[in-house]
Structure 1
C-alpha cells in the first residue's frame, strides 16, 4: 500500500474515532449504527482526500 494512502487512512480512522465515538461518549450522547456507518464512509473518503492532498503538497516542494 502506498504511503500516502496509509497516512490518509490513519488520519481518517483517528478522526472517525474522535468525532463519532469518543466525543459523543464523553457528552453522554447515543452512538448509533447509522452514525457509525456514515462516519466510516465520510472519514474514509476524507482520509483518502487528506492523504492525496498531502502527497501533492509535498511533491510540489521537492
Structure 2
C-alpha cells in the first residue's frame, strides 16, 4: 500500500470519527444510520484527497 493512501485513510477515519460520532455525541444529538453510512464514503474520499495533497506538497518541497 502506498504511503499516501495509508495516510489518507488514517485522515479519513479520524475525520469520520470526529465529525460523525464524537461531535454529535458531545452535543447530545442522535446518531442516525443514514449519517453513519453516508459519512463512510464521503470521509474516505476526503481523507484520500488530503493524503494525496500532503504527499504531493511534501515531494514538491523536497525538490
* TM-score of the aligned structures, taking structure 2 as reference length: 0.93
Cα offset, 1:17, TM superposition: 0.2
Gaps of 5+ in 1: none
SS at match of 1:17: helix
Gaps of 5+ in 2: none
* TM-score of the aligned structures, taking structure 1 as reference length: 0.94
**After TM superposition, which residue ranges in structure 1, 4 or more long, deviate above 2 angstroms?**
none
SS at match of 1:30: coil
CA RMSD of aligned residues (A): 0.7
Alignment of 1:8 with 2:35, yes or no, is: no
